[in-house]
Amino acid sequence: MKDVDDKFLKNIDKEFPLREELRPRTVTTPDGQEIEIEPLKDYFCEAAPKVHPKAYIPIVENFYNWARANSLWILGFGTGCGAIEMRPLMTPRFDAYRYGIQWRPTPRQANLLMISGYLSVKTLKRAVRAYEQMQGPKYVVGLGSCTINGGMYWDSYNTIKKLDQYLPVDLYIAGCMPRPEALLAGFMDLKKLIKAGKCEGANKYAENFAFYKENQKSVIKDWDMPDYNW
């Protein structure tokens, strides 16, 4: 089931006009000429994501995958209540660092996007953007029941029920909330998957780009960004 009934779709263009700063505007150059600026074209890269092949030599790819698995850099992005369970991983008791896991403040340097709890429509937009700004190979882990089926918010008007309709999820960690131990177990599983070469979420996202975009746009009404956020 889709989250949204098409019958209720309204004329989005009218109701959610493009943000003012993204509408084409006319500016005067220093020389006095008038030029058109189309922000979405001029300021954002429009290229679609590419499918990146694996390394040509399998052993190299395996080596890379081993390194990727042992160097999981998490984007520090807490979406919901699950984020509270992430913090203990940095403490002496759990210390995820010893597994090569660390938190990076910028998506450019992170490989792993933890969707820590439910995503509201508003947060989804940010999550999508953050995900797209990460460099592949990259992984998505859904944390908690809410990311799987909406959990206790299954009938909410404002939350996302099935995360994998919007982002290529590599792994779910069930629970409401999953305890840090469960998270660690999840990371171990993710490592195994990566080492096995099964985590090709980035390529999957690129392959099924249209599908993901359609789903994303069906809930995010004020889509005020390019299709792919480089």
Query: Is 62 a residue that touches other proteins (CB under 8 A)?
Result: no
Q: Quick check: 92 binds other proteins (CB under 8 A)? A: yes
* Strands 171-173 and 139-143, sheet pairing: parallel
208 touching other proteins, by CB under 8 A: no
Number of CB atoms found within 10 A of residue 45's CB:
9
Whether cis (ω within 30° of 0) applies to the bond prior to 177 is yes
The reply on whether position 209 binds other proteins by CB under 8 A is: no
- Write the DSSP string, 156-208: -SSB-S-GGGTS---EEE-SSSPPHHHHHHHHHHHHHHHHTT---HHHHHHHT
Site for other proteins in 142-201 (CB under 8 A): none
Q: Which stretch binds other proteins (CB under 8 A): 94-102, 142-150, 154-162, 185-193?
A: 94-102
By C-beta, is 67 or 176 nearer to other proteins? 67
* Residues 204, 216: Cα–Cα separation, whole Å: 15
CB atoms within 10 A of CB 97: 11
Count of Cβ atoms closer than 10 Å to residue 221 Cβ: 15
Q: Least distance to other proteins from the beta carbon of 102, Å?
A: 8
In the chain, the amino acid numbered 202 is A
Q: Is 137 an interacting residue with respect to other proteins (CB under 8 A)?
A: yes
Task: Fill in the per-residue mask, 98 to 127: x = in contact with other proteins (CB under 8 A), - = not in contact.
Answer: x-x-x-xxxxxx-x--------------xx
Question: Cβ 124 to other proteins, closest distance in Å?
Answer: 11
Specify whether the CB–CB gap between 73 and 109 falls below 8 A. yes
Separation CA 204–CA 51 (nearest Å): 8
Task: Select 103 or 145, whichever has its Cβ closest to other proteins.
Answer: 103
Binding site residues, other proteins, CB under 8 A? 21, 25, 27-31, 33, 35, 37, 39, 42-45, 47, 49-50, 52, 55, 63-64, 67-68, 70-71, 73, 76-77, 91-92, 95, 97-98, 100, 102, 104-109, 111, 126-127, 129-130, 133, 135-137, 202, 224-225, 229-230
